[in-house]
Amino acid sequence: MLRASAQKYSVNRALYSEDEFREEHAKGFRKHTTLLDHLIHYFTCTSERAKSAAVSLLPVIGWMKIYSIREWLLSDIVSGVSTGLVAVLQGLAFSLLASISTWYGLYAAFFPVIIYFFLGSSRHISVGSFPVLSLMVGAVVTRLVPDEGPPANITAFEGLTREEQRTLVSASLTFLVGLFQLGMGLLQVGFIVMYLSDTLISGFTNAAAVHILVSQLKFILGLTVPGFSGPFSIIYTLKSVFTQITSSNVHDVVTASVVMVVVLAVKEINDRFKSKLPVPIPIEVVMKVSNASLRPLLRLSYCRDRPPLRGALHSPYKMHQLSPLSFGKEKTIIACGVSYAFNFRDNHGVDVVGKIPNTFEAPMAPDLEVFEMAAVDAFPIAIVGFAVAFAVAKVYSVKHDYVIDGNQELIAFGASNIFGGSFKSLAASTALSRSAVQESTGGKTQIAGLLSAIIVLVVILGIGFLLEPLPKSVLGAVVIVNLKGMLMQVAKVPYLWKKDRPDCIVWIGTCLAATFLGLDIGLAVGLGLELLTVVFRAQFPRCSVLANIPGTDIYRDRKDYINMHEPEGVKVFKIPSPIFFANIDFFRDKLKDAVGFNPLRILRKRNKAMRKIKKMLNKGTLTLTDSGLKGTSLMLIQEDQDDYSLEDLDQPVDYSDLPIQINWSAEIPLNLGVPPVYIHSLILDFSAVSFLDISALEGLKATLKEFIRIDVEVYIVGCDQQINAQAAA
């Protein structure tokens, strides 16, 4: 019974078949465009198309026309300065993951940003180094130029130091990544990112976070750990770390621990009070400045009559030589003595950032031999870098109501990495935390990104020397703290297992493969698992028999509700999937299970029985009475030994030369062995079937013929017009 308060509707119309509907309602003419039409349209040039192409290739033109200096400029300035400070620290930190000198991470926050300003379609992402990409680049760098042993046999390595060799590999790899991205953008294959699901990306980045965490242990503990690459490299790294753990540098451990505790605490404050804070507290920058900025202060206070010190690491002064300074309550100034005043590198063996050139290095051409050896690694780096950047850009485009173009993003990042690679930059994408800073501090356009690049430029050319005494353990601590979001993705596993087990298997499989086999192999394994789940869902869909909910005209899966009503003699079968060559057999098996019999077997039994009946009538052992057929012999009919052709048995039952019509549902005399069929109509719900291929169409027709030949009428409802036309052809 319907509830009294429930809304009701009533539809009164004629009952149509497809043929009747087409006869009564004329279809409109649709002109289908051919390949030639598309080519003509593509190569036709008009002023409007030229203008549209220019705006598409240079998105900066589009938003510059609507830029409001009064409303947006101040916000972009604040955002650019804040983002630039964070970009400096992350550039230094993420370069450690790539196993190259720290200042090349600063280049990644400058050169790619300039190109993206003109070519990028997102107004809010912050372009620069990304930890996962840096780690993937580092795996190639350490494979071609290992910490121990000779480097790869590359001609360009001759006469270069180990650091220069690694720089060459990193720059060439970045250039190659850019070529891949630019090529995909020009070929309009931005849709490829659709094959990287959120589940796959989540499992992959979680594994990458584990790799990053393990790679930073040597800086946190102050150990010398050789670089490992290839499958199970994480196991070898952990083995090396724990073998040397008793030799850890206490000063590195204490410094890193303090930084992690303080940064985690302040980040928690930022999250909890983000609605009340005008901008997030840049705690990473504070900790960096805290460890580096005492150097100029000490110069001013104690070196007025002496020549300026060239570097904090070579200062002749010790902490006990200094009289107390009135630093007030500035926590930054109190903390900054840790790196400079105690001279950690010389006195305690702490590894620091070291010399940062105050100029840009000359551009360099990529090496073709590196291209050859790193091509297999460069492609997944290009895909991951684009996928992460596009996902972040899409979030902000939806939030701020503008459109981004995946193909244009590929072109923008491709050109950015080609330009950056020429100047020895790290591979660029976007970091989630840095983009969040740019957007949350009021950034409106990429002018904020341009200003952040100017901040990086000032650091490189003007004040980079302040960062020289910065311990690498501090950078490692900041990197680890920023992994919290990626590592906490493991909490999604119970939810995925409960809601969608195939997706959960993709997450776990991708994460485990990327963790133990390497990020490149893990990504391939994840893609394979993802495709397998798609095949599994399509090949083994959840078919169901529908039944009526009493008191309504609604039909649902009979297993989902109680007190369901199935119309007598009618089966309603639904398949919620396309039907194609891979699942047509599954569909036929499920359909036979639903109706409770095999129609082909029934047809063959009936044909055999009909031949026996005709033979018995001719012999007189079977007679026709008022009540039907009746045997005159008391002996049961045995199975004939005649050789029946399966081709003949699969034909419709021949009722000719019989004086009556046989009711196969009634009891057949003398146990002729024909199973009864209790349905007269089969309804196939195709409302969720989006397409049929040729193999499935032929298999479907054969199955339906089998039902029709045993006097079961078949109706297909909710059929798509294209499928209907395909079946009728």
> By C-alpha distance, which of 567, 568, 550, 548 is closest to 558?
548
- Six token digits for residue 126: 């912050």
Helix (H, G, I), strand (E, B) or coil at 628: strand
- In this prediction, residue 434 carries a pLDDT of 82
In the predicted model, residues of the chain with pLDDT beneath 50 are 1-2, 290, 292-337, 634-637, 641
CA distance 670 to 654: 20
Beta-carbon-side half-sphere exposure of residue 81 (alpha carbons within 13 Å): 7
Task: Using alpha carbons, list the distances in angstroms from residue 570 to 158, 258, 388, 545.
Answer: 82, 74, 52, 11
Q: Computed over its alpha carbons, how large is the radius of gyration of the chain?
A: 37
Alpha helix positions (H), 18-130 = 18-24, 35-43, 47-57, 59-64, 69-97, 103-108, 111-119
CA distance 276 to 268: 14
496/602 same-domain check: no
Report the 10 Å Cβ neighbour count for 445: 22
553/648 same-domain check: yes
- In this prediction, residue 650 carries a pLDDT of 66
668 occurs within a structural domain: yes
Count of residues in the chain:
729
Beta-carbon-side half-sphere exposure of residue 195 (alpha carbons within 13 Å): 15
483/624 same-domain check: no
- In this prediction, residue 388 carries a pLDDT of 85
350 occurs within a structural domain: no
Q: Nearest 10 degrees: CA dihedral of 225, 229, 233, 237?
A: 0
127-128 and 429-430 beta bridge pairing: antiparallel
Q: Nearest 10 degrees: CA dihedral of 178, 184, 186, 187?
A: 160
Span 363-418, pLDDT tens digits: 999 999 999 999 999 998 998 889 888 888 888 888 888 888 889 999 999 999 99
570/690 same-domain check: yes
417/470 same-domain check: yes
513/551 same-domain check: no
pTM of the full predicted structure?
0.74
Task: Using alpha carbons, list the distances in angstroms from residue 342 to 108, 295, 309, 372, 597.
Answer: 32, 11, 15, 47, 87
114 occurs within a structural domain: yes
> By C-alpha distance, which of 182, 179, 107 is closest to 424?
107
503/567 same-domain check: no
96 occurs within a structural domain: yes
| CATH number of the domain bearing residue 665 | 3.30.750.24
Provide the strand spans (E) within 393-539.
429-430
681-685 and 570-574 beta bridge pairing: parallel
- Six token digits for residue 77: 């300035």
- Give 3-state DSSP helix, strand, coil % of the chain, rounded to 5: 60, 5, 35
- In this prediction, residue 42 carries a pLDDT of 73
- In this prediction, residue 466 carries a pLDDT of 76
345 occurs within a structural domain: no
351 occurs within a structural domain: no
Residue 629, domain extent: 544-728
277 occurs within a structural domain: no
Residue 333 belongs to what H/E stretch? Answer: helix 331-335
454/591 same-domain check: no
Find residue 631's DSSP bridge partners: 622
- In this prediction, residue 675 carries a pLDDT of 82
- Six token digits for residue 64: 């510059």
578/448 same-domain check: no
Span 541-571, pLDDT tens digits: 889 999 998 888 888 998 888 888 888 899 9
Q: For residue 644, what are the contacts with CB-CB under 8 A and spacing of at least 6? A: 607, 608, 611
> By C-alpha distance, which of 62, 65, 363, 99 is closest to 237?
99
363/501 same-domain check: yes
Identity of residue 290: S
Q: For residue 467, what are the contacts with CB-CB under 8 A and spacing of at least 6? A: 88, 92, 288, 292, 353, 356, 459
Query: With contact defined as beta carbons under 8 Å apart, do 123 and 60 qualify?
Result: no
- In this prediction, residue 235 carries a pLDDT of 92
Task: Using alpha carbons, list the distances in angstroms from residue 137 to 18, 142, 170.
Answer: 60, 9, 7
606/713 same-domain check: yes
Q: For residue 521, what are the contacts with CB-CB under 8 A and spacing of at least 6? A: 231, 513, 514
- In this prediction, residue 652 carries a pLDDT of 72
- In this prediction, residue 452 carries a pLDDT of 93
Query: With contact defined as beta carbons under 8 Å apart, do 180 and 378 qualify?
Result: yes
DSSP assignment of 227-271 equals ---STTHHHHHHHHHHHSGGG--HHHHHHHHHHHHHHHHHHHHHH
> By C-alpha distance, which of 322, 363, 351 is closest to 476?
351
What mean pLDDT is reported for the chain?
A: 80
Phi, psi of 579 (to 5 degrees): -110, 120
Q: Nearest 10 degrees: CA dihedral of 368, 373, 375, 380?
A: -140
The percent of residues above 70 in pLDDT, for the chain, comes to: 82
Beta-carbon-side half-sphere exposure of residue 443 (alpha carbons within 13 Å): 28
560 occurs within a structural domain: yes
CA distance 681 to 569: 6
- Six token digits for residue 408: 């244009």
Residue 331 belongs to what H/E stretch? Answer: helix 331-335
Count of domains in the chain? 2
* Tokens 């077997």 sit on residue: 601
466/556 same-domain check: no
CA distance 43 to 572: 51
The percent of residues above 90 in pLDDT, for the chain, comes to: 24
